[in-house]
Each structure stands twice: as structure tokens, then as C-alpha cells.
Structure 1
Amino acid sequence: MFRRATLLVPYNGQQQVRGMATLKAIALRLKSVKNIQKITQSMKMVSAAKFARAERELKPARPYGAGAAAFYEKAEVKAEEEKPTELIVACSSDRGLCGGIHSSICKHIKADLLNDASKAAILCIGDKSRAQLARTLANNIIAQVGEVGRKPATFEDAARIATFILNCGYDFGSGRIIYNKFKTVVSYDLKELPFFPSSAIAAGEKITVYDSLDADVIQCYMEYSLASLLFYTMKEGACAEQSSRMTAMDNASKNAGEMIDKLTLTYNRTRQAVITGELIEIISGAAAV
């Protein structure tokens, strides 16, 4: 009995030290989670303001995409059979913390090129798509457009990207832009918009319906329609990105609040246990005297 009693003395001392260390660790964790909650709430407010602006700018940009897509549909423009090569434009941005809005585009491209990627080239708009696609499709990426998402996209930015596509030297028979289309504040859809070179437009089945079309007019319209599609998809992607980030930050703030409640409860229980242990030791010592 005496031997067992002597062994209990250091154990109680270690339990007290262990309890104090746990109490300090919980306090540090609680403080860090509160700081994270402040950051996520601030990011949510910033995203809400940017989302309101992006939604306002999206409405006048939609006719650009609708007009260009309607021309390809009405003229029944198709990909050239003698040119099986394809150019894929992944429309993302440089900023994260917005859920899986960028990874959905990359997963879709990887699934399409899973069997054969030798006849496809990829143009990445934004650093997020390049970082994910470079792991498996690095040889297919011909260029990457940076500084996307920091400022609202303009038609001049889209025109520069369209000029690069036409002057990059890659001879493609068809192309498509993969982007996220804004649906509601809490949802978006993954969409594709096709585009074609001037030779494919000239070979359209119903292109003769339009009057006064020559090679120069078709080339000019092809350049303008490609810039219009890029401008439209970048506006749609920016609006969907801000709404997704706003939702993600709101969920993060709620999760941080739940974690704060649990850590506060654990902190109070641990503190009460430490105080109770100290009182027991004081009372036991006074009773022993």
C-alpha cells in the first residue's frame, strides 16, 4: 500500500502539468479560430461587394456571347474534317478560396482528353487552371494568361487573348471555351462554347445566306466573334467565382463559429477540472496536517 501511494504522487503532478498544457493549447487554438473567423467574414463582405459589381457588368456582356454563338448555329459552321486538331480554352482565374469552381473545369478537360490528348492544345486563362492541368497535361499547354481576377475583365483583355490565339501558330480545326456560367448565388453550371477558324466559317453550309461576305469580312468577323465569346465567358466566370467565394466564406464562417463553441466548452470544462484538482490537493494537504 505504501509503495502504491508513493507511485501516485508523481502521477498527480504530471496530470496537473498535462492539464495546464492542454488548457494553454486550447486557448491558443481558440484564438486562432476566432482570427480565422474574422478573416472569412471580411472576405465574405468583400466578395459580396465584388459579386454585386460583377452581376451588374454581366448583363450587358451577355449579348456579346449570344450573338456570336447564334451566328455559328444559324450558319451551321462545323469543324473541318481534314483538321482534327482542337484548341481548348480553360477560363479560370488566379485567385482561390472559392470552392471547386476551378477544379471542375480542369476535371472536365482531363476527362475529355483521357484517351487521346495528342491532337489537342490548351490555353489557360488564369493560374489556377494551369497549376492543375500542368500535372498531367503539361505538354498540351501552349500558353497561360495571368493577372486574371484581380481586376474586372474588359473587352480589350479579351481582344488581346483572341489576337494571341490567332497568331500563336497553332493550326486548329475547331475550338471550345470551357467556363462556368452563373446561375444563382449558390449555383453555377459548367458550359462549353465552340469557336472556329475562318476557313471553317467560309465552309459553313448556310453561310451563303449572308450577303457581301468575302475572305476579309469573314476573317474580321471571326476575330470579333472570338473576342466577344472570350469577353462573355470571362464575365460569366467572374460572376460565378465571386458568388462561389461568397458562399464558401459564409460556410467557413459558420464552421468556425461551431468550432469556437466546441472549443469554448472544452476550455471551460478543462479549466474547471484543473481548478477542481488543485482544490482537492489543497484540501487533502490541509486535512493531512
Structure 2
Amino acid sequence: MKIVASTRLNKAQRAMAESRVYGQTSEEIYKQAETTAAPATEDSAVGKRLVVVASSDKGLCGGVHSQLSKKVRQMQAESPEHFDIVVLGEKAKAKLSSVLGNDIVLSFSNVGKDIPTFAESLAIADEISKLDTDYAQTSVVYNGFKSALSFEPTVADAYNETSILASKELSQYEIEDDVLRNLAEFSLANVIHWGLVEGHACEIQARRSAMDNASNNASDMIGSYSILYNRTRQAVITNELVDIITGASSLE
């Protein structure tokens, strides 16, 4: 299992490196344009936030899914207003449904079976765009790959057409008005893809570590039980020899 996970990890890391280029570029554009989400009003849903949790359907990977759900609960507790949640993967959905079930507006299964593709992210972004609420800000919560031994929940943002148009420094990019909607939709799919691919690499790495720990624990158990077996066997042989010697002595 460890060898299989190691092989898959190499492929996942290559895909992660490619997706990071587009994801970080999108993030830098928003930062340079000083894009922010418009605040929500009391009588309107405009400005409401959507949180997309990039998880998967698979287990045996340590605290990958539990850390994501913990991060979302923390964000909800710190937020002045409740936000809507979209869950990618059954593992995070199961953990969040008991606490934030009323805030989940959409969920997807069969996520993370293999390296996520941009076509899958486009399909997810398309379904999100069909929701009734016009979200000013969409945040993707995913596991950020820090090193071969560590990862941590990370948040990446995407914005709708209105928020992008209201950016203070948008004019420096010379973006035409008729392509703003396409930019917003592409940016959302791009951030979702970044989160899915990076989260997938973290999941494979965590599963590799879990399999390595399982193999080491099994080896330790085999060693302990082998010693116990040899001691027990030696004790039985010793008792039998004592019985034989005692019986022979009584016959003399």
C-alpha cells in the first residue's frame, strides 16, 4: 500500500505544481486589483459568502477531512453572519452535516477518485452558478501542501462580476466589461481546481504516511508476538523436561 501511494503521490505533486501556477496568479490579480466582497444588506442576499469545502469520499488518510471540517466550523464561529456551504466529497459532508447541516446548499460525491481535472472543476463551478443566491465572494477551503510531512487548511477566494467591477485598481488590467462575467466564472473554476488538486496531493501523502505507520506498527506487533511465542514455547518445553526428569527420578 505504501508503494502504491508513493507512485500516486508523484503524479499528484506534478499536477499540484501545475495548478498552483494558475491559482496563485488568480489570487495575485485580486490582490493587485484590491478586490473585496460587497457587504450584505439586511434586506438582500447580495454580498453573502459561499464556502466550498474541497474534500473527498475516501478515508484511511489521517486527519485530512477532520481538519477541514474543524476549519469551517471555526470560520462559522468567527463570522458575523452565517454563510452557505458547498461540500465536495462525502467525508467532509458527514462531519459537517451534524453541526452545520442547515447551511449546506449543495454537495458532490465521487470526488477525489483520481487526480482532479479542470473539466470536473468547471462542472462544479457551473452547478454553483445555478444557485439562486448571487454570492459576492466564494471561498474554497482546502488542505494546503506545505511539505512531505505537513499540510494545513487553507482558504482561497474568488469573487463575482459585481465585486470585480468595483475593484479599486481594476483599470490597470484593461479588462473589457463584456468579459468580466467570463473572468468571474473562470476564476471560480480555477480556484476550485487548485483546491481539489492540492487537497488530493495532501490526501495521498497522508495516506502514504498512514500506510507506512501501519506497516511499522505491524512489524512491531510481529516482533512482540514472536518474542512472546518463543518465551511461551520455551516455558512449555522446560515444564515438559522437568516432568520427564521428575518422573525418571521417582522410578530410581
When residues 234 and 116 of structure 1 are mapped into structure 2, their CA distance, relative to the original with a 3 A threshold, is closer
Specify the alignment match of 1:167 in structure 2.
130
Specify the alignment match of 2:168 in structure 1.
205
Over the matched positions of the two proteins, sequence identity in percent amounts to 35
When residues 275 and 114 of structure 1 are mapped into structure 2, their CA distance, relative to the original with a 3 A threshold, is farther
Segments of 5+ residues of structure 2 without an aligned counterpart are: 41-45
The structure 2 residue matched to 1:263, chosen from 211, 225, 228, is 225
Specify the alignment match of 2:9 in structure 1.
51
Structure whose CA Rg is larger: 1
Distance 1:126 1:226 in 2: 18
Q: CA RMSD in A?
A: 2.0
Which AA in structure 1 matches 2:14?
A: R
Specify the alignment match of 1:250 in structure 2.
212
Specify the alignment match of 1:65 in structure 2.
23
Which AA in structure 1 matches 2:15?
A: E
Say yes or no: does 1:139 pair with 2:102: yes
Are the equivalent residues in 1 in contact too, given 2:138–2:188 (CA < 8 A)? no
Displacement of 1:57? 1.8
Aligned residue runs from structure 1 range 184-203, under 5 A: 184-203=147-166
Displacement of 1:282? 4.2
Displacement of 1:119? 2.1
Aligned residue runs from structure 1 range 205-224, under 5 A: 205-214=168-177, 216-224=178-186
Aligned residue runs from structure 1 range 2-13, under 5 A: none
When residues 212 and 272 of structure 1 are mapped into structure 2, their CA distance, relative to the original with a 3 A threshold, is closer
Are the equivalent residues in 2 in contact too, given 1:94–1:128 (CA < 8 A)? yes
Displacement of 1:59? 2.1
Which AA in structure 2 matches 1:64?
A: Y
Specify the alignment match of 2:77 in structure 1.
114
Aligned residues: 246
Say yes or no: does 1:81 pair with 2:45: no
Specify the alignment match of 2:56 in structure 1.
93
Which AA in structure 2 matches 1:86?
A: R
Which AA in structure 1 matches 2:97?
A: A
Secondary structure (helix, strand or coil) at the match of 2:57 reads coil
Task: Give the TM-score, by structure 1 length.
Answer: 0.79
Displacement of 1:267? 1.3
The structure 1 residue matched to 2:141, chosen from 161, 174, 178, is 178
Greater shift after overlay, 277-286 or 267-276?
Answer: 277-286
